[in-house]
Amino acid sequence: MKAEKLRLLKEYNLYCITAENLSRGRSNIEVVEKMLKSGVKIIQYREKKKTLREKLLECEKIRQMTLDYGCIFIINDNIEIAKMVLADGVHIGQDDYPLERVRDFLGEEYIIGLSTHSREQLYDAHKIGADYIGVGPIFKTFTKEDVCDPVGFEYLDIAVKESKLPFVTIGGIKENNVENVLKRGAKCIAMVSEIVGAEDIEGKGRAILDKLNNWRDKNENSNGLC
Ligand SMILES: Cc1ncc(COP(=O)(O)OP(=O)(O)O)c(N)n1
Ligand SMILES: Cc1ncsc1CCOP(=O)(O)O
Ligand SMILES: [Mg+2]
């Protein structure tokens, strides 16, 4: 079950993250509905400003919606909400609860993703039992308030060569620069503002999924990896 979900993170895929403040007046629920209709298979709920009660109510709804569409549901930071709504997993950063404690709290079936910004953190993530890692921010981004400097392609190249875990590339990635990231070997791509800020979220999601699928077909066929 978990292995099947993790396969989605290993493949060419679009990993969509919510941000109501960038959603042009649309609610997280409306945005998630559109993401799901576009065919996205991994959604993270990331919400920094709402109360726990508000977040729980939204996550309960999104849990049901993602189950209806066969989409993985990851919750950022709020590990207790993830347990309450039976999400598929959580995403934590270097300053959040230690991964070992999160694993104790959630158990083996939950997916735990960990943000990494350096080779040292990548190896640590393997050691402490992360299921996948975040690699970024690749480019400059204004979406995250306390973001560190971009790690650029230098760390992405390390992750491509040395990560034994699935990795999700994040930070400043858009429809018009995603190929630069794919060229370095990234497969699972996270986007926030590009998706939630699009006038036509469904169209934008489909266009990026098409781009990833075309890239996969072209490159995996020519490498004889299919
Ligand atoms: C897929 C993915 N990668 C990185 C992050 C960032 O997590 P974190 O460093 O904990 O920062 P916040 O998102 O909590 O501000 C992420 N959320 N998802
Ligand atoms: C949550 C997060 N973690 C690292 S960069 C980032 C935000 C990425 O947002 P965008 O895709 O809009 O640049
Ligand atoms: Mg965090």
Q: How far apart are CA 122 and CA 142, in angstroms?
A: 24
Query: Torsions phi, psi of 198, nearest 5?
Result: -75, 145
Q: What percent of the chain has pLDDT over 90?
A: 96
In tens, the pLDDT along 28-83 reads 999 999 999 999 999 999 999 999 999 999 999 999 999 999 999 999 999 999 99
Residue among 185, 154, 189, 159 at smallest CA distance from 175: 189
- Contacts with 189 (C-beta within 8 Å, 6 or more apart), sequence order: 13, 14, 15, 168, 169, 170, 173, 178, 181, 182, 208, 212
- 134 touches ligand 1 (CB under 6 Å): yes
- 137 touches ligand 2 (CB under 6 Å): yes
User: In this predicted structure, what is the pLDDT of residue 42?
Assistant: 98
In tens, the pLDDT along 146-169 reads 999 999 999 999 999 999 999 999
Query: Torsions phi, psi of 97, nearest 5?
Result: -55, 145
Q: Quickly state the pLDDT bin for 220 (edges 50, 70, 90).
A: confident
What does pTM read for this prediction? 0.97
Name the CATH superfamily, with its identifier, for domain 2-218. Aldolase class I (3.20.20.70)
Q: pLDDT averaged over the chain?
A: 96
- Ligand 2 centroid from CA 197, angstroms: 13
Q: What is the DSSP letter of 224?
A: T
The average pLDDT across 211-215 equals: 97
The average pLDDT across 105-121 equals: 98
Identity of residue 15: Y
User: In this predicted structure, what is the pLDDT of residue 226?
Assistant: 43
- 28 touches ligand 1 (CB under 6 Å): no
- Closest ligand 1 atom number to CA of residue 96: 10
Say which range, 7-16, 103-112, 168-177, 217-226, has the weakest mean pLDDT. 217-226
